[in-house]
Chain A
């Protein structure tokens, strides 16, 4: 790859920076960096979105679950709009929204606080969209756009689901499933649920996190 990089004549053009991008069909292309989110001049609405979302993400990473809930709620509405614009208002949109929210949640470690948040979220959403289309063997043409593409419009109307997470949860071992049910249906905190089931709060936390990881994988497999 480095040799290819060096051999490409455009790379040598003075004053221009290029990046090597593997497109969804795994061909490696060289694109001008300016087409990627970080280098573009900030579009006003995106800038404003960035200023609303990034503090929420940072508070979420500090352990603020209220900020996390608010962030996921907002992202969910943007994701719904974005996916609907890309694949139409099919039943898959809501599944994809849930899959992506799970990914944002489980992958939040990979967000670097020194970088802007919206390109990170856009990259995750775009990846999930490509992955979804690829698994359905559709032709994959997802242009690499400015992160603003994700944040163009909100859509708060939840669509129908093809795969009910409730049904997937039935496949979890009893202990894990009952923990999720306590937390979801009865609105208990993890500590309360742990006490009720007679496990330590730490192991309940680990169990919940593992269940969510499993759920994310199961949802992806299910939508194959």
Chain B
């Protein structure tokens, strides 16, 4: 088939494409995956008493940390799904947020009494925190990747990593509804590790999944 014939066929397959379809697709994926993860948290892990928790600053500290990272991750994914757009300030913003959280964590450890430091750092749940965040990220990652595949990511590993990062951050935000840990040092370590693992695995999977 000659190329002009192919173009003839393609010209018959023209439907109006509404503006903003990229944002809608990605947002829909985040919401769909987020709902699945939310259901797992609410029904499987059970939420902590939210009314009481919502009056505590540590609850909002966690939500702000992971929420900001989710936004930065989503912006990154959006940019990487559209060829020819630049990354902008999102990576730097995410790095700054992590840096602030690490600083808070270290500051908390340093200002704590020597004897209580390890307990503060490990909390009650350090063993399950990062793995749970990683697992909870899977439904979100799957939805995001399905949406990105229909767009045009030209950098598969980086895009997969960003999708993993956004999924991990959103999963961590929802996990915060369950997780009763209060220490900044805990969040800075184990939440960040969970999100980091999701980023790394997302990049590895993205190399395979985002080819077109």
Query: Range of interface residues on chain A?
Result: 35 or more
Q: How far is the CA of A131 from the CA of B153 in the complex (A)?
A: 12
| CB nearest to A181 among chain B residues | B9
Q: Is A133 an interface residue (CB 8 A)?
A: no
Which segment, of B54-62, B79-87, B131-139, faces chain A? B79-87
| CB nearest to B84 among chain A residues | A119
Q: Is B150 an interface residue (CB 8 A)?
A: yes
Q: How far is the CA of A55 from the CA of B108 in the complex (A)?
A: 57
Known: A22-B157, A110-B22, A124-B152. A2 touches B91 (CB 8 A): yes
- Asked whether A124 lies within 8 Å of B83 as measured between CB atoms, the reply is yes
- Asked whether B84 lies within 8 Å of A38 as measured between CB atoms, the reply is yes
Taking a contact as CB atoms closer than 8 A, the residue among B9, B95, B154 that contacts A2 in the complex is: B95
B residues near A115, Cβ cutoff 8 Å = 82, 84-85
A-B complex: 4 closest residue pairs judged by Cβ atoms: A123-B83, A119-B84, A63-B16, A2-B95
Taking a contact as CB atoms closer than 8 A, the residue among B2, B94, B152 that contacts A110 in the complex is: B152
Q: Is B114 an interface residue (CB 8 A)?
A: no
| CB nearest to A111 among chain B residues | B82
Main SS class of interface, B: helix
Q: How far is the CA of A72 from the CA of B11 in the complex (A)?
A: 9
Taking a contact as CB atoms closer than 8 A, the residue among B19, B98, B152, B156 that contacts A3 in the complex is: B98
- In this complex, the member of B5, B154, B158 whose beta carbon has the largest number of chain A beta carbons within 10 angstroms is B154
Which residues 174-200 in B have Cβ within 8 Å of A in the complex? 199
Q: How far is the CA of A105 from the CA of B17 in the complex (A)?
A: 12
B residues near A107, Cβ cutoff 8 Å = 151-152, 212
A residues near B203, Cβ cutoff 8 Å = 1
Q: What distance in Å separates the Cβ of A135 from its nearest Cβ neighbour in chain B?
A: 9
Known: A5-B91, A131-B211, A147-B84. A112 touches B11 (CB 8 A): no
Which residues 62-114 in B have Cβ within 8 Å of A in the complex? 81-87, 91-92, 94-96, 98-99
- Asked whether A109 lies within 8 Å of B95 as measured between CB atoms, the reply is no
Q: Is A91 an interface residue (CB 8 A)?
A: no
Taking a contact as CB atoms closer than 8 A, the residue among B13, B99, B152, B162 that contacts A205 in the complex is: B13
- In this complex, the member of A5, A37, A97 whose beta carbon has the largest number of chain B beta carbons within 10 angstroms is A5
Q: Is B207 an interface residue (CB 8 A)?
A: yes
Known: A2-B95, A5-B91, A61-B16. A165 touches B1 (CB 8 A): yes
B residues near A131, Cβ cutoff 8 Å = 211
> 0/1 per residue, A76-103, Cβ < 8 Å to B?
1000000000000000001001100111
- Asked whether B91 lies within 8 Å of A212 as measured between CB atoms, the reply is no
Q: Is A180 an interface residue (CB 8 A)?
A: yes
Q: What distance in Å separates the Cβ of A89 from its nearest Cβ neighbour in chain B?
A: 15
- Asked whether B91 lies within 8 Å of A1 as measured between CB atoms, the reply is yes
Q: Is A151 an interface residue (CB 8 A)?
A: no
Q: How far is the CA of A111 from the CA of B21 in the complex (A)?
A: 9
Q: Is B141 an interface residue (CB 8 A)?
A: no
